[in-house]
Amino acid sequence: MRVPMSWLRELVALPASLTAREVAAGLVRLGLEVERVEEIGAGLTGPLVVGQVAGFEELAGQKKPIRWCQVDVGEERPRGIICGATNFATGDRVVVALPGAVLPGGFAITARRTYGYVSDGMICSARELGLGDDHTGILVLGECADPGADALAELELPDAVLDIAVTPDRGYCLSMRGIAREVAHSLDLPFADPVERLAVERLAVERLAVERTAAAGADPVLPPGWPVRIDDPIGCDRFTAWTLAGLDPSATTPVWMRRRLLLSGMRPISLTVDVTNYVMLELGQPMHAFDRASLTGEIVVRRAVSGEMIKTLDGVTRALDGDDLLVSDVAGPIALAGTMGGASTEIGPFTTDIVLEAAHWSPPTVMRMVRRHKLPSEAARRFERDVDSEVALPALRRAAALLAELGGATDAGLTVVGSPYPRPHIALAAGQPGRLAGRVIPPAAVMRRLTEVGCQVEGEYIFTVVPPSWRPDLADPADLVEEVLRLEGYDAIEAALPAAPAGRGLTARQRAGRAVGRALAAAGYVEVINYPFVAEQRYDDLGLPADDPRRTAMRLANPLSDQQPLLRTTLLPGLLEALARNVGRGNRDLALFETGLVFRPGPEFVPAPRVGVGGRPDPAELAALDRALPAQPRRVAVVLCGQREPTGWWGPGRPAGWADAVQAARTVAGASRVPVSVRADPHAPWHPGRSAAIFVAAGTDAERLVGHAGELHPGVIAAFDLPPRTCAMELDLELLGVGDVPVAPTVSAFPPALLDVAVVVDDAVPAGEVEAALRAGAGELLESVRLFDRYADPDRLGPGRMSLAYALRFRAVDRTLTVQEASQAAQSAVAEAARRTGAVQRA
């Protein structure tokens, strides 16, 4: 809502010294968001005068029309001025900047030679004066002061405009009337509601109509207007219409009104349209004018029937929905209620008779129509937020009076049908606002504040409050409390801390989540936080098989980019893109990680049920709501490329490899205190020979696959444009879980017995299995086992054979082991390895 200060001053008696910024600060204190204060005509200095076009000559041979004008500026002789606009005629009054004037933006006016003439000043457009964006031509003043008069005074310059973002609950602030009320509250000034003034005023157009009726021998009342019927009282509880005849189609909108429209961000169009827009800005009631000559029979407010069509003012023919609310006549739909008028009854340049509509439309109905037909408008914006249910008639009278005065309309007839819904009676304990604020607010203050905003308040300890018709947002006691506290000022509220019950800190899972991040950062990984939006193509790029569950992704109905409509089912696409982005910026040795949710819809679609909000839903409803959600497990993933350890003065570096990725899985598992084991498992998007599956509780009934790690498939690396040998790991943290509270080991003070064993196995045997067998066979004296050497030597070991050398460390808790005990344990370890893997001990 754009609020010109000059207009505001007409509605509230502001002290002359009060600046726009001070007014803005007061509104901010009351909760209106003033986004900016625009100074209009700042830096504008005269001489700026009213001029009258005495005549002009169109210059020939120019690329665009150029006029050489003689303009009377109240001097002895007219001045000659060159002008590039054509929207004026001889006799029009215009704004002339004379040499010496400076226009906004530091544009100094001088007498200058152009198109072969000396242009002795400039005829100004609205935009050049800072009055809005209209630059389709120069500003034609219409009726105004005589040539030579100060145009700055005529145009009320300088001025200021407050640009206010109105929250959805305060529809009444989409009018000058509503803003003026808030300004008065914020400054503790009296407020005279223009609607109340209208209620007692007898308008000239009404007097004339009544007199004419009486003269014709009928009752001396306002004659009835166009017949109207409401068939849908849910969608419309009040419809008023004024019939006007004898409008002068050539009448123009006076400059004072055009000026206000321009400053409010609206474009002047024609007198009728301008007046309806002006009254909408002033009182908040959108209106629509039908061409009376095009109407056929009774106007009916009803829902559309399927198959009906309407051609709207924008020239689009629209198929109507059964939920659309229509204004129709006998011939069919003539307007989408509160949203847009129809083309068949549009007023034109020769319209003299109109039916002016002002109605109260149901906000949700209008909102659905706007959404369905994608037709946002200034009118709909007000109806969506709800308009004062009692303002239709006063607004209509105001508009009729303006059209009679400015457009010469004479005839009048009034139709008023429907009755606004009764307003709620809200019971409010007088102490409630104070109780919620945590301080004492006397009942008298509560009553005063509520009365200020327009409520009727009765009672002493329990107030019965009837909110004003323009505040449909006041429905509950809590809404009234807010009004009281807002006007009392939030600054008055003290600060105190509530006594929370003793807390338990983070849960084990939350602590483990942090530990995982810290462990990966300590291991050299840098965290990234990617968007969860994925292109469909990425699942092909990952080389996922056609039936891979990761291809079953949720799809956004309104993605930001049509290229990325899916939600991620794996963290890898985002991470790989982040990796490629870093590589593109010259970061070559990279290790990234991310933790976040992935979205895995179930096999069948389950819509969420419609559940009420009148109380706690029953368990079945809550369960049904949750069933509609996809599984959303938290995952962790890493990607890495380049050098894992750099080359340096210490010697050569080491490239990142599959083993780093697998180790990252162990790092995560370690941070979660969950032992994992690793097995080869060809799995997309990894290199089939360099892909490890990570298991928890391997070999038990509770065994579960928690993720994969290794080097990526070369095809995936090519598709994502990654450095060769890029590696990755991804684990499901929900499946991984959190390990038990660790139990302290018994630390023996006796000396260890150290024994090395080397075995030869078929090179297809995983080292992990050999180690597991050694552990199993060694028994409880084994303290640790570590692979310290691994090599193939076809000459000595035979082809396809591999030597694995292990350091075994034995120790007992209660004695020093004898050599015999230790070598016996080592032998049984080797025996178990031989049994399980065919390992042969080397001498």
Partner 1 sequence: MSGPNDPAEVAAPELLDAAGREAEKAFAEAADLAELAAVRAAHLGDRSPVLLARRAIGGLPAEVRSAAGRRVNEALATIQAWYEARHAELTRLRDSVALRAEAVDVTLPWDRRPVGARHPLTTVMERMTDVFVAMGYDVAEGPEVETEWHNFDALNFKRDHPARSMMDTFFLEPESAGLVLRTHTSPVQVRAMLERGAPPIYVVCPGKVFRTDELDATHTPVFHQIEGLVVDEGITMAHLKGTLDHLAEVMFGAGLRARWRPSYFPFTEPSAEFDVECFACRGGSVGNPDRPCRTCRSEGWIEWGGCGMVNPRVLTACGIDAERYSGFAFGMGVERAVQFRHGVDDMRDLVEGDVRFTLPFGSEV
Which residues 443-502 are close enough to bind partner 1 by CB under 8 A? 476-479, 481-482, 485-486, 490-491, 493-498, 500-502
Burial class (CB in 10 A: 0-12, 13-18, 19+), 526: middle
Per-residue interface string for the shown chain with partner 1, residues 214-253, x marking contact by CB under 8 A: ----------------------------------------
What's the rounded Cα separation, in Å, for the pair 685 and 542?
5
> Which region, judged by CB under 8 A, interacts with partner 1, from 161-169, 310-318, 739-747, 823-831?
161-169
Q: Which is nearer to partner 1, 200 or 440 (CB)?
A: 440
The correct pick among 221, 245, 305, 622 for binding partner 1 (CB under 8 A) is: 622
Q: Which stretch binds partner 1 (CB under 8 A): 327-335, 433-441, 772-780, 809-817?
A: 433-441
Tracing tokens 């120790």 back to the chain, one arrives at 811
Candidates 218-226, 580-588, 716-724, 813-821; binding stretch for partner 1 (CB under 8 A): 580-588
Structure tokens at 191: 């407020």
By CB under 8 A, what part of segment 553-572 binds partner 1? 554-560, 567
Q: Which of 649, 740, 799, 820 binds partner 1 (CB under 8 A)?
A: 649
Residue 309 vs 521, nearer CB to partner 1: 521
- CB nearer to partner 1: give 202 or 585: 585
> What DSSP string describes 497-511?
---PPPP--S-HHHH
In the bound state with partner 1, the residue whose beta carbon lies nearer, of 646 and 779, is: 646
Nearest distance in Å: CB 779, partner 1: 36
Q: Per CB under 8 A, does 550 bind partner 1?
A: no
DSSP of 319-340: EPPTT-EEEEETTEEEEETTTE
User: Residue 81 or residue 598: which is nearer to partner 1 going by CB?
Assistant: 598
Closer residue to partner 1 (CB): 207 or 435: 435
Q: Which of 315, 349, 422, 505 binds partner 1 (CB under 8 A)?
A: 505
State phi, psi for 726 to the nearest 5 degrees.
-60, 140
The Cα–Cα gap between 409 and 291 comes to: 14
Among the residue ranges 9-17, 58-66, 464-472, 507-515, the one whose residues contact partner 1 (CB under 8 A):
507-515
Per rule CB under 8 A, is residue 435 in the interface with partner 1? Answer: yes
Task: Out of 265, 443, 630, 657, name the contact with partner 1 by CB under 8 A.
Answer: 630
Evaluate the omega torsion of the peptide bond into residue 158 and state whether it is cis, within 30 degrees of 0: yes
Q: Which residues contact 440 (CB under 8 A, 6 or more apart)?
A: 434
Under 8 Å between Cβ of 734 and 745: no
| Sign of the C-alpha dihedral computed for residues 348, 353, 355 and 358 taken in this order | positive
Q: Which two tokens stand for residue 517?
A: 């991040």
CB of 198 to partner 1, least distance (A): 28
Number of residues that bind partner 1 (CB under 8 A): 108
Residue 376 to residue 370: CA distance in whole angstroms: 6
Using CB under 8 A, pick the residue from 43, 322, 438, 714 that binds partner 1: 438
Q: Choose, by CB under 8 A, the member of 308, 645, 734, 821 that binds partner 1.
A: 645
Q: Do the Cβ atoms of 54 and 99 come closer than 8 Å?
A: no
The pattern of x and - marking residues 517 through 536 that bind partner 1 according to CB under 8 A reads xx-xxxxxxxxxxxxx----
Nearest Cα to Cα of residue 279 among 267, 261, 291, 254:
261
Site for partner 1 in 130-149 (CB under 8 A): none
Contacts 24+ apart (CB under 8 A), 763-766: 763/792, 763/800, 763/801, 763/802, 764/800, 765/802, 765/837, 765/838, 765/839, 766/679, 766/680
User: Considering only residues 364-403, where is the footprint of partner 1 by CB under 8 A?
Assistant: 364-365, 367-368, 371, 384-385
Least Å from the CB of residue 571 to partner 1: 12
- The CB-of-133 to partner 1 minimum distance in angstroms stands at 24
Q: Which residue, 414, 418, 403, 416, is CA-closest to 221?
A: 414
Query: Segment 257-276, which members bind partner 1 (CB under 8 A)?
Result: none
To the nearest whole angstrom, how small is the minimum distance from the Cβ of residue 597 to partner 1?
5
3-class state of residue 399 by DSSP: helix
Among 62, 419, 507, 784, binds partner 1 (CB under 8 A): 507
Q: Is 788 exposed, middle or buried (0-12, 13-18, 19+ CB in 10 A)?
A: exposed
Distance CA 270, CA 247 (A): 12
Identify the DSSP state of 2.
E
Handedness of CA 452, 457, 460, 464 (dihedral sign): negative
Site string for partner 1, 799-838 (x = CB under 8 A): ----------------------------------------
CA–CA dist 571, 550 (Å, integer): 11
Per-residue DSSP letter, 743: P
| Residue 405 DSSP symbol | H
Instruction: Say which amino acid occupies 215.
Output: A
Residue span binding partner 1 (CB under 8 A) among the ranges 211-219, 261-269, 457-465, 509-517: 509-517
Closer to partner 1 by CB, 381 or 809: give it: 381
Bridge pairing between strands 288-291 and 354-361: antiparallel
407 versus 642: smaller Cβ distance to partner 1: 642
Minimum separation from the CB atom of position 286 to partner 1 (A): 15
Could you tell me which of 508, 506, 509 has the C-alpha nearest to residue 733? 509
Judged by beta carbon, residue 626 or residue 721, the one nearer partner 1 is 626
Residues 688-747 interacting with partner 1 (rule: CB under 8 A): none
Structure tokens given for 754: 């150290």
Minimum distance, C-beta of residue 372 to partner 1, in the bound complex (Å): 11
Nearer to partner 1 among residue 175 and residue 691 (C-beta): 175
Contacts of partner 1 in 267-326 (CB under 8 A):
none
Which CB, 77 or 616, lies closer to partner 1?
Answer: 616
Among the residue ranges 37-45, 608-616, 694-702, 802-810, the one whose residues contact partner 1 (CB under 8 A): 608-616
Which amino acid type is present at position 219? D
DSSP code of 226?
Answer: S
* Rama region for 115: left / alpha / beta (φ>0; ψ in -120 to 50; rest): left
**Is 603 near partner 1 (CB under 8 A)?**
no
Tell me the longest C-alpha to C-alpha distance in the chain.
135
Among 307, 585, 699, 780, binds partner 1 (CB under 8 A): 585
Q: What are phi and psi of 142, to 5 degrees?
A: 70, -150
Nearer residue to partner 1 within complex by CB, 438 or 688: 438
User: Of 27-86, which residues contact partner 1 (CB under 8 A)?
Assistant: 28-31, 33
Shortest separation between residue 379's beta carbon and partner 1, angstroms: 14
- Contact assessment for residue 121 and residue 110, using Cβ atoms and an 8 Å cutoff: no
Nearest to partner 1 of 102, 624 (CB atom): 624
- Cβ proximity to partner 1: between 364 and 408 the closer is 364
Establish if 440 lies at the interface with partner 1 (CB under 8 A).
no
**Which C-beta is closer to partner 1: that of 624 or that of 840?**
624
Contact (Cβ atoms closer than 8 angstroms) between residue 287 and residue 396:
yes
Distance CA 584, CA 722 (A): 10
Applying CB under 8 A, among 118, 218, 234, 628 the residue interacting with partner 1 is 628
Least separation in angstroms between residue 540's CB and partner 1 is 20
DSSP states along 39-85: EETTT-BS-EEEEEEEEEEEPSS-SS--EEEEEE-SSSSPEEEEE--
Residue count of the chain? 843
Q: Judged by CB under 8 A, does residue 21 bind partner 1?
A: no
